[in-house]
Amino acid sequence: MPGKHLTVVVTRQLPQQVETRLKELFDVQLRDSDAPMTPDELVDAMQSADVLVPTITDQIDAKILARAGDRIKLIANYGAGVDHIDVATARQRGIHVSNTPGVMTDDTADMVMALILGVTRRMGEGIKLAQSDTWQGWTPTAMMGGRIKGRRLGILGMGRIGQAVAKRAAAFGLQVHYHNRRRLRPEVEQALDATYWESLDQMVARMDILSINCPHTPSTFHLMNARRLKLMKPSAVIVNTSRGEVIDENALTRMLRAGEIAGAGLDVFERGHLINPRLKELPNAILLPHMGSATLEGRVEMGEKVILNIKTFADGHRPPDLVVPSML
Protein backbone atom coordinates (compact mmCIF):
# COMPACT_ATOMS: atom_id res chain seq x y z
CA MET A 1 0.00 0.00 0.00
CA PRO A 2 1.54 3.37 -0.94
CA GLY A 3 2.72 5.30 2.08
CA LYS A 4 0.61 8.44 1.46
CA HIS A 5 -2.55 6.34 1.59
CA LEU A 6 -1.57 4.86 4.93
CA THR A 7 -3.53 6.46 7.78
CA VAL A 8 -1.36 7.07 10.84
CA VAL A 9 -2.58 8.29 14.25
CA VAL A 10 -0.08 9.77 16.71
CA THR A 11 -1.15 9.66 20.36
CA ARG A 12 1.10 12.41 21.81
CA GLN A 13 2.80 15.56 20.57
CA LEU A 14 6.22 14.73 19.07
CA PRO A 15 9.10 17.04 18.10
CA GLN A 16 7.97 19.38 15.34
CA GLN A 17 10.41 18.07 12.74
CA VAL A 18 9.18 14.53 13.35
CA GLU A 19 5.55 15.51 12.99
CA THR A 20 6.32 17.47 9.81
CA ARG A 21 8.09 14.52 8.21
CA LEU A 22 5.25 12.17 9.16
CA LYS A 23 2.81 14.61 7.55
CA GLU A 24 4.87 14.69 4.35
CA LEU A 25 4.94 10.91 4.03
CA PHE A 26 1.60 9.68 5.34
CA ASP A 27 -2.01 10.62 5.97
CA VAL A 28 -1.41 11.59 9.60
CA GLN A 29 -3.68 12.62 12.45
CA LEU A 30 -1.55 14.56 14.92
CA ARG A 31 -2.42 15.15 18.55
CA ASP A 32 -3.34 18.75 19.43
CA SER A 33 -3.24 18.09 23.16
CA ASP A 34 -0.19 16.72 24.94
CA ALA A 35 -2.39 14.86 27.41
CA PRO A 36 -2.45 11.05 27.15
CA MET A 37 -5.34 9.52 25.26
CA THR A 38 -8.13 7.94 27.26
CA PRO A 39 -8.84 4.23 26.64
CA ASP A 40 -11.86 5.16 24.51
CA GLU A 41 -9.75 7.60 22.48
CA LEU A 42 -7.17 4.87 21.93
CA VAL A 43 -9.84 2.50 20.67
CA ASP A 44 -11.23 5.15 18.33
CA ALA A 45 -7.74 5.86 17.02
CA MET A 46 -7.03 2.18 16.35
CA GLN A 47 -10.38 1.69 14.62
CA SER A 48 -9.66 4.59 12.24
CA ALA A 49 -5.97 3.97 11.52
CA ASP A 50 -3.72 1.57 9.65
CA VAL A 51 -0.84 2.51 11.98
CA LEU A 52 -0.85 3.74 15.57
CA VAL A 53 2.14 5.62 16.99
CA PRO A 54 1.79 5.33 20.79
CA THR A 55 4.14 6.15 23.66
CA ILE A 56 4.84 4.66 27.07
CA THR A 57 1.78 6.46 28.49
CA ASP A 58 -0.63 4.46 26.30
CA GLN A 59 -1.67 1.18 27.92
CA ILE A 60 -2.56 -1.09 25.01
CA ASP A 61 -3.71 -4.26 26.73
CA ALA A 62 -5.84 -7.19 25.62
CA LYS A 63 -9.08 -5.31 26.38
CA ILE A 64 -8.07 -2.39 24.19
CA LEU A 65 -6.90 -4.70 21.40
CA ALA A 66 -10.19 -6.64 21.53
CA ARG A 67 -12.00 -3.40 20.64
CA ALA A 68 -9.47 -2.24 18.07
CA GLY A 69 -11.25 -3.57 15.00
CA ASP A 70 -9.67 -5.09 11.91
CA ARG A 71 -8.10 -2.06 10.24
CA ILE A 72 -5.06 -1.50 12.46
CA LYS A 73 -2.04 -3.43 11.17
CA LEU A 74 0.99 -1.83 12.86
CA ILE A 75 1.68 -0.34 16.27
CA ALA A 76 4.86 1.70 15.69
CA ASN A 77 5.85 2.49 19.25
CA TYR A 78 7.69 5.76 19.93
CA GLY A 79 10.15 4.31 22.44
CA ALA A 80 12.21 1.20 23.07
CA GLY A 81 10.19 -0.30 25.93
CA VAL A 82 7.01 -2.14 24.97
CA ASP A 83 5.83 -3.35 28.38
CA HIS A 84 2.74 -1.13 27.96
CA ILE A 85 1.69 -3.14 24.91
CA ASP A 86 0.32 -6.70 24.98
CA VAL A 87 2.59 -7.84 22.15
CA ALA A 88 1.41 -11.47 22.20
CA THR A 89 -2.27 -10.51 21.85
CA ALA A 90 -1.43 -8.00 19.13
CA ARG A 91 0.40 -10.68 17.16
CA GLN A 92 -2.54 -13.06 17.56
CA ARG A 93 -4.77 -10.38 16.04
CA GLY A 94 -2.39 -9.90 13.11
CA ILE A 95 -1.03 -6.58 14.37
CA HIS A 96 2.72 -6.00 14.11
CA VAL A 97 4.53 -4.10 16.86
CA SER A 98 7.76 -2.15 16.31
CA ASN A 99 9.90 -0.05 18.64
CA THR A 100 12.94 2.26 18.59
CA PRO A 101 15.87 0.36 20.15
CA GLY A 102 19.37 1.74 20.54
CA VAL A 103 18.45 5.40 20.14
CA MET A 104 18.44 6.35 23.82
CA THR A 105 21.43 4.25 24.88
CA ASP A 106 23.94 7.07 25.34
CA ASP A 107 21.43 9.54 26.76
CA THR A 108 20.20 7.10 29.39
CA ALA A 109 23.72 5.96 30.29
CA ASP A 110 24.68 9.62 30.79
CA MET A 111 21.75 10.01 33.17
CA VAL A 112 22.80 6.92 35.13
CA MET A 113 26.19 8.50 35.78
CA ALA A 114 24.54 11.81 36.68
CA LEU A 115 22.38 10.06 39.27
CA ILE A 116 25.32 8.09 40.66
CA LEU A 117 27.27 11.31 41.14
CA GLY A 118 24.20 13.19 42.34
CA VAL A 119 23.42 10.70 45.08
CA THR A 120 26.93 9.89 46.26
CA ARG A 121 27.98 13.57 46.29
CA ARG A 122 24.63 14.70 47.79
CA MET A 123 23.93 17.13 44.97
CA GLY A 124 20.19 17.16 45.55
CA GLU A 125 20.68 18.28 49.14
CA GLY A 126 23.31 20.78 48.07
CA ILE A 127 21.07 22.40 45.47
CA LYS A 128 18.27 22.82 47.99
CA LEU A 129 20.65 24.28 50.58
CA ALA A 130 22.22 26.75 48.13
CA GLN A 131 18.77 27.94 47.04
CA SER A 132 17.57 28.36 50.61
CA ASP A 133 18.14 31.22 53.03
CA THR A 134 19.78 28.97 55.60
CA TRP A 135 23.20 28.42 54.00
CA GLN A 136 25.87 30.24 55.99
CA GLY A 137 28.82 29.42 53.74
CA TRP A 138 31.47 26.74 53.43
CA THR A 139 32.66 24.69 56.39
CA PRO A 140 35.16 21.80 56.43
CA THR A 141 32.60 19.18 57.47
CA ALA A 142 29.51 20.36 55.60
CA MET A 143 27.76 18.32 52.91
CA MET A 144 30.34 15.57 52.81
CA GLY A 145 29.49 12.86 50.32
CA GLY A 146 31.59 9.99 49.05
CA ARG A 147 34.25 9.47 46.40
CA ILE A 148 33.10 7.09 43.64
CA LYS A 149 36.54 6.07 42.39
CA GLY A 150 37.28 2.51 43.48
CA ARG A 151 33.70 1.66 44.38
CA ARG A 152 31.96 -1.43 43.06
CA LEU A 153 29.14 -0.79 40.61
CA GLY A 154 26.67 -3.61 40.05
CA ILE A 155 24.74 -3.35 36.77
CA LEU A 156 21.46 -5.26 36.69
CA GLY A 157 20.81 -5.84 32.99
CA MET A 158 23.82 -5.74 30.66
CA GLY A 159 22.14 -4.86 27.37
CA ARG A 160 22.98 -1.82 25.25
CA ILE A 161 22.42 0.67 28.07
CA GLY A 162 24.10 -1.47 30.70
CA GLN A 163 27.22 -1.78 28.56
CA ALA A 164 27.22 1.96 27.87
CA VAL A 165 27.05 2.55 31.63
CA ALA A 166 29.96 0.14 32.14
CA LYS A 167 32.14 2.09 29.68
CA ARG A 168 31.38 5.39 31.39
CA ALA A 169 31.86 3.90 34.85
CA ALA A 170 35.35 2.74 33.94
CA ALA A 171 36.33 6.32 33.14
CA PHE A 172 35.31 7.28 36.69
CA GLY A 173 37.42 4.51 38.20
CA LEU A 174 34.50 2.31 39.23
CA GLN A 175 34.87 -1.48 39.36
CA VAL A 176 32.18 -2.95 37.09
CA HIS A 177 30.15 -6.01 38.05
CA TYR A 178 26.97 -7.27 36.40
CA HIS A 179 24.11 -9.73 36.47
CA ASN A 180 22.27 -10.59 33.27
CA ARG A 181 19.99 -13.29 31.92
CA ARG A 182 22.86 -14.41 29.72
CA ARG A 183 26.53 -13.95 30.36
CA LEU A 184 28.30 -11.70 27.86
CA ARG A 185 30.70 -13.17 25.34
CA PRO A 186 34.21 -13.45 26.81
CA GLU A 187 35.66 -10.80 24.49
CA VAL A 188 32.90 -8.31 25.39
CA GLU A 189 33.26 -9.02 29.10
CA GLN A 190 37.01 -8.55 28.85
CA ALA A 191 36.70 -5.29 26.92
CA LEU A 192 34.40 -3.94 29.64
CA ASP A 193 36.60 -5.35 32.40
CA ALA A 194 33.37 -6.56 34.00
CA THR A 195 32.86 -9.29 36.59
CA TYR A 196 29.84 -11.57 36.04
CA TRP A 197 27.65 -12.77 38.89
CA GLU A 198 25.30 -15.67 38.22
CA SER A 199 23.63 -15.02 41.57
CA LEU A 200 21.89 -11.65 41.78
CA ASP A 201 21.65 -11.97 45.56
CA GLN A 202 25.39 -12.43 45.90
CA MET A 203 26.11 -9.41 43.69
CA VAL A 204 23.62 -7.13 45.44
CA ALA A 205 25.12 -7.90 48.85
CA ARG A 206 28.61 -6.82 47.76
CA MET A 207 28.01 -3.69 45.68
CA ASP A 208 28.47 -0.06 46.68
CA ILE A 209 26.25 1.17 43.83
CA LEU A 210 23.47 -0.73 42.07
CA SER A 211 22.19 0.42 38.67
CA ILE A 212 18.90 -0.97 37.36
CA ASN A 213 19.09 -1.32 33.58
CA CYS A 214 16.87 -4.32 32.84
CA PRO A 215 13.48 -4.05 31.10
CA HIS A 216 10.16 -4.52 32.87
CA THR A 217 8.78 -7.98 32.13
CA PRO A 218 6.67 -10.36 34.25
CA SER A 219 9.91 -11.94 35.48
CA THR A 220 11.49 -8.61 36.50
CA PHE A 221 8.49 -7.15 38.34
CA HIS A 222 9.74 -6.33 41.86
CA LEU A 223 13.00 -8.10 41.06
CA MET A 224 14.41 -5.76 43.69
CA ASN A 225 11.85 -6.68 46.34
CA ALA A 226 12.06 -6.07 50.08
CA ARG A 227 14.10 -9.21 50.70
CA ARG A 228 16.66 -8.36 48.05
CA LEU A 229 16.86 -4.68 49.01
CA LYS A 230 17.73 -5.80 52.55
CA LEU A 231 20.79 -7.55 51.14
CA MET A 232 22.28 -4.20 50.15
CA LYS A 233 24.95 -2.66 52.34
CA PRO A 234 23.70 0.26 54.47
CA SER A 235 26.30 2.43 52.73
CA ALA A 236 25.13 1.43 49.24
CA VAL A 237 23.06 3.49 46.82
CA ILE A 238 20.68 2.41 44.07
CA VAL A 239 19.81 4.18 40.81
CA ASN A 240 17.02 3.30 38.39
CA THR A 241 16.59 4.69 34.87
CA SER A 242 14.83 1.63 33.45
CA ARG A 243 11.33 0.89 34.74
CA GLY A 244 9.89 1.72 38.14
CA GLU A 245 8.15 -1.63 38.46
CA VAL A 246 11.49 -3.43 38.85
CA ILE A 247 11.84 -2.02 42.40
CA ASP A 248 9.36 -2.41 45.25
CA GLU A 249 9.00 1.34 45.77
CA ASN A 250 7.30 1.11 49.16
CA ALA A 251 10.01 -1.18 50.52
CA LEU A 252 12.73 1.10 49.12
CA THR A 253 11.09 4.15 50.72
CA ARG A 254 10.94 2.44 54.12
CA MET A 255 14.60 1.44 53.95
CA LEU A 256 15.76 4.90 52.84
CA ARG A 257 13.82 6.45 55.73
CA ALA A 258 15.36 3.98 58.17
CA GLY A 259 18.91 4.51 56.89
CA GLU A 260 19.17 0.89 55.76
CA ILE A 261 20.14 2.11 52.27
CA ALA A 262 22.26 5.25 51.95
CA GLY A 263 20.57 6.83 48.95
CA ALA A 264 18.63 6.45 45.72
CA GLY A 265 18.54 8.19 42.36
CA LEU A 266 15.29 7.46 40.54
CA ASP A 267 14.19 8.55 37.07
CA VAL A 268 11.24 6.13 36.95
CA PHE A 269 8.61 5.11 39.47
CA GLU A 270 6.38 2.13 40.10
CA ARG A 271 3.14 4.04 39.46
CA GLY A 272 4.34 6.39 36.76
CA HIS A 273 4.01 10.01 37.86
CA LEU A 274 2.24 9.02 41.08
CA ILE A 275 5.29 8.98 43.33
CA ASN A 276 5.10 7.77 46.92
CA PRO A 277 4.64 11.00 48.95
CA ARG A 278 7.07 9.78 51.63
CA LEU A 279 9.71 9.20 48.97
CA LYS A 280 9.41 12.84 47.89
CA GLU A 281 10.24 13.98 51.42
CA LEU A 282 13.55 12.13 51.69
CA PRO A 283 16.79 14.15 51.51
CA ASN A 284 18.76 11.06 50.40
CA ALA A 285 16.66 10.48 47.28
CA ILE A 286 17.11 12.33 43.99
CA LEU A 287 13.91 12.10 41.93
CA LEU A 288 13.69 13.01 38.25
CA PRO A 289 10.57 13.11 36.01
CA HIS A 290 11.61 10.36 33.55
CA MET A 291 14.35 12.42 31.89
CA GLY A 292 16.71 9.58 30.97
CA SER A 293 16.16 9.83 27.23
CA ALA A 294 15.03 13.46 27.19
CA THR A 295 17.45 15.01 24.73
CA LEU A 296 16.38 16.76 21.55
CA GLU A 297 18.72 14.57 19.53
CA GLY A 298 17.33 11.39 21.07
CA ARG A 299 13.70 12.34 20.63
CA VAL A 300 14.25 13.21 16.95
CA GLU A 301 16.14 9.96 16.33
CA MET A 302 13.28 8.03 17.94
CA GLY A 303 10.91 9.69 15.50
CA GLU A 304 13.18 8.82 12.58
CA LYS A 305 13.10 5.17 13.61
CA VAL A 306 9.30 5.26 13.86
CA ILE A 307 9.13 6.71 10.35
CA LEU A 308 11.52 4.07 8.99
CA ASN A 309 9.44 1.29 10.53
CA ILE A 310 6.21 2.67 9.07
CA LYS A 311 7.74 3.35 5.64
CA THR A 312 9.23 -0.15 5.43
CA PHE A 313 5.88 -1.65 6.43
CA ALA A 314 4.06 0.52 3.88
CA ASP A 315 6.41 -0.78 1.19
CA GLY A 316 5.34 -4.33 2.01
CA HIS A 317 8.36 -5.38 4.05
CA ARG A 318 8.99 -6.41 7.64
CA PRO A 319 9.72 -3.35 9.86
CA PRO A 320 13.41 -3.37 10.82
CA ASP A 321 12.57 -3.01 14.54
CA LEU A 322 9.78 -5.58 14.69
CA VAL A 323 9.08 -6.83 18.22
CA VAL A 324 8.22 -10.50 18.70
CA PRO A 325 7.14 -12.16 21.97
CA SER A 326 10.30 -14.29 22.11
CA MET A 327 12.34 -11.08 22.52
CA LEU A 328 10.52 -10.15 25.73
3-state secondary structure of 152: strand
| Element at 67 (helix H, strand E) | none
Query: What domain count does the chain have?
Result: 2
191: CATH: 3.40.50.720
Contact criterion met (CB below 8 Å) for 189 and 183: yes
- Statement to judge: residues 270 and 126 lie in one domain: yes
- Statement to judge: residues 14 and 150 lie in one domain: no
Q: Is the pTM of this model over 0.85?
A: yes
Domain that holds residue 315: 3-102+295-327
Continuous H helices in 121-248 = 123-130, 160-171, 186-192, 200-206, 226-229
- Statement to judge: residues 35 and 180 lie in one domain: no
- Statement to judge: residues 21 and 119 lie in one domain: no
Q: Which amino acid is at 67?
A: R
Q: What is the pLDDT of residue 327?
A: 65
CA distance 195 to 95: 41
Q: What is the DSSP string of 25-57?
A: HSEEE--SS-SPPPHHHHHHHHHH-SEEE--TT
- Statement to judge: residues 113 and 91 lie in one domain: no
Contact criterion met (CB below 8 Å) for 237 and 212: no
- Statement to judge: residues 170 and 73 lie in one domain: no
Considering just the CA atoms, what is the radius of gyration of the chain in Å? Answer: 21
Q: What is the pLDDT of residue 2?
A: 47
Sign of torsion over alpha carbons 133, 137, 139, 144: positive
Whole-Å CA distances, 49 to 44, 146, 190: 9, 53, 48
- Statement to judge: residues 172 and 252 lie in one domain: yes
Residues of the chain under the 70 pLDDT cut: 1-4, 327-328
- Statement to judge: residues 127 and 273 lie in one domain: yes
Q: What is the pLDDT of residue 1?
A: 43
Sign of torsion over alpha carbons 247, 163, 189, 168: negative
Residue 324: exposed, middle, or buried by beta-carbon count in 10 A (0-12, 13-18, 19+)? exposed
- Statement to judge: residues 110 and 91 lie in one domain: no
Strand stretches in the chain, DSSP E: 7-10, 27-29, 51-53, 74-76, 96-98, 152-156, 175-179, 194-196, 209-212, 237-240, 263-266, 285-287, 322-323
Whole-Å CA distances, 290 to 16, 108, 111, 130: 21, 10, 10, 24
- Statement to judge: residues 22 and 156 lie in one domain: no
- Statement to judge: residues 189 and 315 lie in one domain: no
Q: Which residues pair with 266 in a beta bridge?
A: 240, 287
CA distance 263 to 265: 7
The count of other CB atoms within 10 Å of the CB of residue 298 is 19
- Statement to judge: residues 36 and 146 lie in one domain: no
Closest to 270 (Cα-Cα) out of 238, 239, 244: 244
